[in-house]
Amino acid sequence: MTDNARYFDRPLKYTEAEWQARIQLAACYRIFDHLGWSESIYNHISLRVPGPDQHFLINPFGLHYSEVRASNLVKVDVEGRVIGDSDWPINPAGFTFHGAIHQQIPDGHCVMHVHTTATLAVCCLEQGLSYSNFYSAQLYGRIAYHDFEGITVHMDEGERILASAAGKQVLLLKNHGPVVIGHSLAQAFSLMWLINRACEVQMASMSMGPVIDIPVQVLEKCSRNSLNFDPKYGAGEDAFAAMMRIVERKDPGYRY
Ligand SMILES: [Zn+2]
């Protein structure tokens, strides 16, 4: 056996489907870190484990995103109880709303949350997201808001977060940061990338002066025509695969 083969071997305690989900999610944590989206040891991305059980993978609480690997991701049930063994706990503030979303939205397979400066700054604005740039225009009609209730450690807030989302895939937690719900990890990533870029551009443009309004018909067209949502053009899968190759070149150690 070569060193590489041993490196990438699937531990027998995981099914092939779970192991692939672990590799994809670990790559995603490394991608977030590569993009500067990590936040010390905080924040979280969760992914449903394929199969009949309502099990989910989430980051070990205490490790930086750059330290997350396929085998140290923690498997939990819908209430955040650890399944199997783990050297690490999970962040209770993390799974409160992730669990509620995964439980109530059957195709909500992946939930992402960040505190990037641009997204959090826009979440603090009275007017919220301004549909005045190329990226936010693609999100027109796709955004919901949820009032700030403090740190999300209380189970009952999960239900209210779901009610606020009301079927939308991008939810801006006011004064806090965005939550994105994807049918797949790649789709969630694509939405998170869009909202982050939209907020970065908003922060830059609005700090320079008044922005140019975009007519509603144009916004609707942008949201409809966005290649980020079109399966014909990869719908996020291609973009995620490209990012995965970047972190692979930096450090393939996320795979074990
Ligand atoms: Zn948060």
pLDDT digits (tens, 9 = 90+) for 89-100: 998 777 878 888
Task: Please report the pLDDT score of residue 181 as a whole number.
Answer: 95
Q: Tens of pLDDT along 54-102?
A: 999 999 999 999 999 999 999 999 888 999 989 999 987 778 788 889 9
* CA 155 to centroid of ligand 1, rounded, Å: 15
| Model pLDDT for residues 236-251, shown as the tens digit of each residue | 899 999 999 999 999 9
DSSP per position, 45-94: EEEEPSSSS--EEEPPTTS-GGG--GGGSEEE-TT-PBPS--SS---HHH
Longest dimension (CA), the chain: 63
CA of 205 to the centre of ligand 1 (A): 25
Q: Distance, CA 117 to ligand 1 centroid (Å)?
A: 12
The CATH label, of 3.40.225.10, 3.40.640.10, 3.90.226.10, 3.40.710.10, for the domain at 3-255 is 3.40.225.10
pLDDT at 97: 82
CA of 176 to the centre of ligand 1 (A): 6
Gap from CA of 174 to ligand 1 centroid (Å): 11
Distance from the alpha carbon of residue 103 to the mean position of ligand 1, in angstroms: 20
122 CA distance to ligand 1 middle (Å): 14
Separation of 7 CA from ligand 1 center, angstroms? 34
How many whole angstroms from 55 Cα to the centroid of ligand 1? Answer: 22
Q: Where are the domains of the chain?
A: 3-255
Residue 1, pLDDT > 50, answer no
Q: Is the pLDDT of residue 207 over 70?
A: yes
Distance 20 CA to ligand 1 centre (A): 27
Distance 6 CA to ligand 1 centre (A): 37
How far apart (Å, rounded) are the C-alpha atoms in residues 130 and 181?
21
* Ligand 1 mean position, distance from CA 113 (Å): 7
Confidence of residue 235 (pLDDT cuts 50, 70, 90): confident
pLDDT-based confidence at residue 6 (cuts at 50, 70, 90) = low
- Pairing mode, strands 74-76 and 56-58: antiparallel
Torsion (CA) 155, 159, 165, 168 in degrees, nearest 10: 100
Q: Give the distance (Å) from ligand 1 centre to CA of residue 42.
A: 8
Taking the centre of ligand 1 as the mean of its atom positions, its distance from the CA of residue 52, in whole angstroms, is: 29
Distance in Å, CA 225 to ligand 1 centroid = 31
**pLDDT tens per residue across span 172-185:** 999 999 999 999 99
Neighbours of 106 (CB within 10 A): 9
**Do 171 and 165 meet the contact criterion of CB atoms below 8 Å apart?**
yes
Distance from Cα 16 to the centre of ligand 1, integer Å:
32
CA of 35 to the centre of ligand 1 (A): 18
